[in-house]
A and B are shown apart, each in its own frame.
Chain A
Amino acid sequence: MGQTFELTVNGERRQVEADADSTLLHVLREVLDLKGARFGCGLGLCGACFVLLDGRPAPSCDVPLWSAAGRTVTTVEGLADGDVPHPVQRAFLDEQAAQCGYCVSGILVSAAALLAEHPEPDESTVAAALDRHLCRCGAQVRMVRAVVRAGQAKADATGATATRTDAGGTGTGAGTAGVDAGTAGVDVFGTVVDR
């Protein structure tokens, strides 16, 4: 059943063994253990699973592995530059632009793609670019503001001066993989693992 495929994920060449028609979302979450892209509908209709495929936003729930093979995939975990969060991640924290945050991963990658093409979008450009994403919590107003702000911040930035994201005394840049419950002030999975 399983075949080996090669793709570039967040800048790294990865070989994965899975079915050719496994979804890219499945491969990311279950094979590569990148849980940032979320399952929302499995039908390409909600945006929760979006990743960048060769730089373009795409629903990873609707992309079979065979068609992602050989291509470049960027997930929300790959937006930060090492310890330095992407300006749009930083802006989401500055604007507190989320409630439950389930929709946020997909929205961030689409926003990052938009900013790469239109460095300083206005509100209606942002809303149009994010229109394939649903947010049931109604946090869109803040999200649009955050993306506009990220564009302006990018324009203002001189390059290497971006600061570490700091919210409630915690950083987001470091340790993007794995549950680092101690840093967030809220214990995520409790003592789940030792039970």
Chain B
Amino acid sequence: MSVERREVAPVAPPLPRGVVGNPRLARWVTVERDGTVTVRVGKVELGQGILTALAQLAADELDVDLAAVRMAAASTAEGPDEGLTAGSLSVANSGAAVRQVCAEVRALFVAEAVANLALDPDTVTVRNGTISDAAGSRRTSYGELAERVDLDREATGAVRPKPQHQARWVGRSVPRLDLPDKVSGRPRFIQDLALPGQLYGRVVRPPSPAATLVEVDTAAVRLRPGVRAVVRDGDFLGVVAEGEENAERAATALAAAARWHEEPTLPDEHDISRFLRAGPAESIPVPDPGHAGPAPTNPAPTNPGNADPGHADPGAAGRVVRRLRATYSRPFLAHASMAPSCGAARWAEDGTAVSVWSHSQGIHGLGRAIGMGLELDADRVDVRHVESAGSYGHNGADDAAFDAVLLARAVPGRPVHVRWSRRDELTWAPFGSAMVAEVEAGVDADGTVLTWSYDVWSQGHTARPGYAGSPGLLADTHRNRSRPTPPAVDPPARGGGGTTRNAWPIYTFPERRIHGHRALRTALRSSSLRSLGAFTNVFAIESFMDELALAAGADPVAYRLAQLADPRAREVLSTAAELGGWQRRGTEENVGYGIGFARYKDRGAYCAVLAEVEAVHEVRVRRLTLVVDVGRVVNPDGVRNQIEGGAVQATSWTLKERVRFDRWRVTSADWESYPILRFSEVPQVDVHLVDRPAELSVGAGEAAQGPTAAAVANAVADALSVRVRDLPITADRIVAAL
């Protein structure tokens, strides 16, 4: 990093954002007398290994053994606020903060040791938590000085993190700290929580999103065994009972006792593209990412949808000899976590404050949203994170926490644990929006792109708690039918955008027009799903690049390289082709090869995928070869694991997944109606990392989604000479396209 290369900086470099927002060192770090160091971060473990990576960074800065570092669960009461754990930014953002804080903590301990033991300040070192100087006769340790060093002070920025070549833990494939528990079946997930005096809550949801409660007779339910409370708050309905089975049975009885009025309010599932395109919509500006560094703070200004000079060639449009056009789409997708969402809450006896346990990706935002929904001051709500299964974006975590809060209000002083059903998870959690993209290119006589015009329509990709001035919590909309949920929004361009994420092609096209259209009507509730709009945009752009290459009679890899300037992009693309067997293309019947590539969020990870598929009656992905450049690699195996998982999940999205609904309700409510990829369908996945120690670390979690979809689609087209432009690529879709 450039900051470190400077020999003497007269002014301290700016503090990382997380430290500016949470400057007190004690908020981040506690040194115990036994020498263990507790590190609190605002990021949460989602199965992505983030806590292990951050522990590696902390151990390096502190010069302690990795085993001496304990990563505490995120908590609004005790830990720093680092916003959401999302968007593959955790290592970059939280990592910078952890390094800075730990470097300062180390310096304070070293100063104390020097003063205390008269150590030689020029030769003092820290090794495995032991502090000594070259003479070596006197030594002390973090543990011994723990009581003497006061960390309740602000970071100054006067100390800098270590140069990376001195790293001992970073860059190594350190085993995940959380896996031993998970492999031995220890309680570890929020579903396993057993708080003292815990009661169980269940919510009775409306039968369809627009249903309203006509009447409910709660008297009989109240008398059922173990029932402690029946809660009705507007159209929000639930029970609290001793014991999970009592709660389940009471909820079944309560559901039977409720009468609802239903309306067919949903659009036609088979015509969702038209629904999205019909408007009304908000036009989204799409700034040219240009050749910005990894994390520019000020994106280039732009005018929405205006022509962009691109690689300035004023006469380009005039040389167009042919125009090609295609439309691509994806359906609504479910997060489909393996664990139904879960939450727990306990109100103070006097009802003025509530403690919440949640697997939310943003516990601080959740706490504020709960406060907003219940008109409580934010400091009356404390939220602590407990792990659940992977969520891959904004699933029902926050909603389940709020369910628990509402139910627990009826039993102050007692914690209430709420777990959703599989049906709830697949039908009530927010979905990734359906999307449709239309692209038109004007090419010259060689087929090289001169003009590029791209339109993408989607619902918004963010409806996190507190979005658009609303609590954004499912139960809140049922409590207050008069307060409709605003349509989902999109993150700003500097956050990578939502609908338009990766809508900007990385290729050197002379003229480019990119339009985003965010639908202001909601078919089904949508919020962020891993990679947001990038999945569809990369699928569309990279599918179309193949179509253009074929129209030009060109090799798709060579066609891309001829219009690609970025050297890191060129490297991952050509390496993937080489390692993935591109040269075997066309040698085996019914077998196809396809490539897909993108730089995630224009300034994140580079990822190229080569897919090998076999397509006879249905598509079988045999092998995926991924080449990835995430800059400096903190934990190589951790990155590989994330990329593999992303590629397998994206294969599932591409081949199988689609939220089903009729005019009333979502009908894909179990694993038969919402199938995902099975063991027998999983391809072999080979991941190759390009390590760039001098570059900033960027996240790997979302980089593979779009390129995998495109690679698979392109491979299917190669195998069958049939182009499927609407996901998922099922046997039916292939037959329809033939």
Q: Is the pair A185, B67 in contact by a Cβ cutoff of 8 Å?
A: yes
Check if A149 is an interface residue, CB within 8 A of chain B.
Answer: no
Considering only CB atoms and an 8 Å cut-off, how many residues of chain B contact the other chain?
85
- Taking CB atoms, residues of chain A closer than 8 Å to B65 are 169
Q: Is the pair A96, B175 in contact by a Cβ cutoff of 8 Å?
A: yes
Q: Is the pair A185, B184 in contact by a Cβ cutoff of 8 Å?
A: no
Considering only CB atoms and an 8 Å cut-off, how many residues of chain A contact the other chain?
80
Residue of B nearest to A102 (CB): B389
Residue of A nearest to B176 (CB): A96
- Taking CB atoms, residues of chain B closer than 8 Å to A117 are none
The residue in A43, A80, A85, A134 that gathers the most chain B C-beta atoms within 10 A of its C-beta is: A134
A42-B422, A96-B637 given as contacts; is B679 within 8 A of A137 (CB)?
A: no
Check if B641 is an interface residue, CB within 8 A of chain A.
Answer: yes
Q: Which of B78, B338, B646 contacts A135 (CB 8 A)?
A: B338
Q: Which of A33, A85, A184 contacts B181 (CB 8 A)?
A: A184
Q: Per-position contact with B for A43-63: 1 when CB-CB < 8 Å, else 0?
A: 101101000000000000000
Check if A187 is an interface residue, CB within 8 A of chain B.
Answer: yes
Q: Is the pair A176, B186 in contact by a Cβ cutoff of 8 Å?
A: yes
Q: Is the pair A195, B71 in contact by a Cβ cutoff of 8 Å?
A: no
Check if A99 is an interface residue, CB within 8 A of chain B.
Answer: yes
A49 to nearest B CB, angstroms?
Answer: 11
Compute how far the CA of A175 lies from the CA of B374 in the bound complex, rounded to whole angstroms. 42
- Taking CB atoms, residues of chain A closer than 8 Å to B678 are 131, 134
Q: Is the pair A168, B389 in contact by a Cβ cutoff of 8 Å?
A: no
Q: Per-position contact with B for A171-184: 1 when CB-CB < 8 Å, else 0?
A: 11100111110111
Check if A162 is an interface residue, CB within 8 A of chain B.
Answer: no
Compute how far the CA of A104 lies from the CA of B49 in the bound complex, rounded to whole angstroms. 16
Compute how far the CA of A134 lies from the CA of B678 in the bound complex, rounded to whole angstroms. 6
Q: Is the pair A40, B338 in contact by a Cβ cutoff of 8 Å?
A: yes
Compute how far the CA of A171 lies from the CA of B196 in the bound complex, rounded to whole angstroms. 28
Q: Is the pair A35, B187 in contact by a Cβ cutoff of 8 Å?
A: yes
Check if B72 is an interface residue, CB within 8 A of chain A.
Answer: yes
Compute how far the CA of A13 lies from the CA of B339 in the bound complex, rounded to whole angstroms. 30
Q: Is the pair B183, A188 in contact by a Cβ cutoff of 8 Å?
A: no
Check if A15 is an interface residue, CB within 8 A of chain B.
Answer: no
Q: Which of A33, A89, A130 contacts B679 (CB 8 A)?
A: A130
Check if B185 is an interface residue, CB within 8 A of chain A.
Answer: yes
Q: Is the pair A172, B180 in contact by a Cβ cutoff of 8 Å?
A: yes
Residue of B nearest to A88 (CB): B183
- Taking CB atoms, residues of chain B closer than 8 Å to A171 are 180
A44 to nearest B CB, angstroms?
Answer: 10
The residue in B55, B182, B338, B387 that gathers the most chain A C-beta atoms within 10 A of its C-beta is: B338
Compute how far the CA of A36 lies from the CA of B422 in the bound complex, rounded to whole angstroms. 19
Q: Per-position contact with A for B403-422: 1 when CB-CB < 8 Å, else 0?
A: 00000000000000001011
- Taking CB atoms, residues of chain B closer than 8 Å to A29 are 192
Q: Is the pair A39, B245 in contact by a Cβ cutoff of 8 Å?
A: no
B281 to nearest A CB, angstroms?
Answer: 32
- Taking CB atoms, residues of chain A closer than 8 Å to B186 are 35-36, 176-180
A171 to nearest B CB, angstroms?
Answer: 7
- Taking CB atoms, residues of chain A closer than 8 Å to B645 are 99, 137-139
- Taking CB atoms, residues of chain B closer than 8 Å to A101 are 47, 178-179, 182-183, 188, 389
Which chain B residues (181-204) contact chain A, with CB distance < 8 Å?
A: 181-189, 191-196
Q: Is the pair A127, B679 in contact by a Cβ cutoff of 8 Å?
A: yes
The residue in A30, A100, A104, A187 that gathers the most chain B C-beta atoms within 10 A of its C-beta is: A100
A35-B187, A168-B67 given as contacts; is B390 within 8 A of A102 (CB)?
A: yes
Q: Is the pair B338, A193 in contact by a Cβ cutoff of 8 Å?
A: no
Compute how far the CA of A127 lies from the CA of B186 in the bound complex, rounded to whole angstroms. 25
Q: Is the pair A45, B70 in contact by a Cβ cutoff of 8 Å?
A: no
Compute how far the CA of A104 lies from the CA of B186 in the bound complex, rounded to whole angstroms. 11
A98-B183, A136-B390 given as contacts; is B67 within 8 A of A38 (CB)?
A: no
Q: Is the pair A1, B195 in contact by a Cβ cutoff of 8 Å?
A: no
A135-B338, A187-B38 given as contacts; is B67 within 8 A of A169 (CB)?
A: yes
- Taking CB atoms, residues of chain B closer than 8 Å to A99 are 47-49, 390, 641-642, 645
B659 to nearest A CB, angstroms?
Answer: 15
Q: Is the pair B180, A167 in contact by a Cβ cutoff of 8 Å?
A: yes
Q: Is the pair B338, A136 in contact by a Cβ cutoff of 8 Å?
A: yes
Q: Is the pair B648, A140 in contact by a Cβ cutoff of 8 Å?
A: yes
Check if B459 is an interface residue, CB within 8 A of chain A.
Answer: no
B531 to nearest A CB, angstroms?
Answer: 14
Check if B672 is an interface residue, CB within 8 A of chain A.
Answer: yes
Residue of B nearest to A40 (CB): B338
10 additional A-B pairs beyond A39-B340, A134-B678, A188-B187, beta carbons within 8 Å, are: A1-B225, A34-B185, A38-B189, A39-B339, A85-B183, A100-B47, A100-B339, A143-B679, A144-B679, A180-B186
18 contacts between A and B (CB under 8 A): A36-B185, A38-B338, A39-B340, A40-B339, A40-B422, A48-B338, A96-B637, A102-B47, A102-B390, A104-B183, A131-B678, A141-B685, A170-B180, A176-B184, A184-B180, A189-B73, A192-B357, A195-B355
B-side interface residues toward A, CB under 8 Å? 38, 45-49, 51-52, 55, 65-67, 69-73, 75, 78, 173-189, 191-196, 225, 243-245, 336-340, 355, 357, 384, 386-390, 392, 419, 421-422, 637, 641-642, 644-649, 652, 670-672, 676-680, 682-685
The 6 A-B residue pairs with the shortest CB-CB distance, nearest first, are: A36-B185, A100-B47, A138-B648, A101-B182, A102-B389, A76-B185
